[in-house]
Amino acid sequence: AQSVSQHNHHVILSEAASLELGCNYSYGGTVNLFWYVQYPGQHLQLLLKYFSGDPLVKGIKGFEAEFIKSKFSFNLRKPSVQWSDTAEYFCAANSMDSSYKLIFGSGTRLLVRP
C-alpha cells in the first residue's frame, strides 16, 4: 500500500541550528511530493513541492528539499532555523500513475528554542 513515513515525531533545536526532517514514501512509478507546514492554530500551508526536474527544490522561508529516487526520500532542510519556524511539518505524496489520494505522513513537531 502507498504510504508516507516521517520518522522524527518531535524535534527540538536552538535558533541558528540546522534542520533536516526525514520523509520516505512507498510509491511505484511517478510521484509528486510536497512539504506542508502548520503553524500553531493555523491551517496547512505549502512549503515546497516536487513534480519533476531538478531534484533539489527550494521553497519559501529558506526551506529546501531533495528528492532522492533511489532512497525513496524527500527530506526537508533549512541551514539555520528561527524561533518562528516552530510548527508541525507534514510530508505528503501522490502518484501520477494511479490513485486520487494525497497521502500524508504523521507529521513532525518542531520546537525552536530562542
Partner 1 sequence: EAQVTQNPRYLITVTGKKLTVTCSQNMNHEYMSWYRQDPGLGLRQIYYSMNVEVTDKGDVPEGYKVSRKEKRNFPLILESPSPNQTSLYFCASSLRVHTEAFFGQGTRLTVV
Binding site for partner 1 (CB under 8 A): 6, 9, 32, 34, 36, 42-46, 49, 90, 92, 94, 96, 100-107
Q: How far apart are CA 7 and CA 29, in angstroms?
A: 23
Report the DSSP beta bridge partners of residue 93.
33, 103
CB of 114 to partner 1, least distance (A): 25
Residue with Cβ nearer partner 1 (17 or 103): 103
Residue with Cβ nearer partner 1 (61 or 101): 101
User: Which three cell numbers, joined as nine digits, stand for 42?
Assistant: 493555523
Q: 3-class SS at 112?
A: strand
Residue with Cβ nearer partner 1 (4 or 81): 4
CB of 36 to partner 1, least distance (A): 8
Question: Do residues 36 and 82 touch, judged by C-beta distance below 8 A?
Answer: no
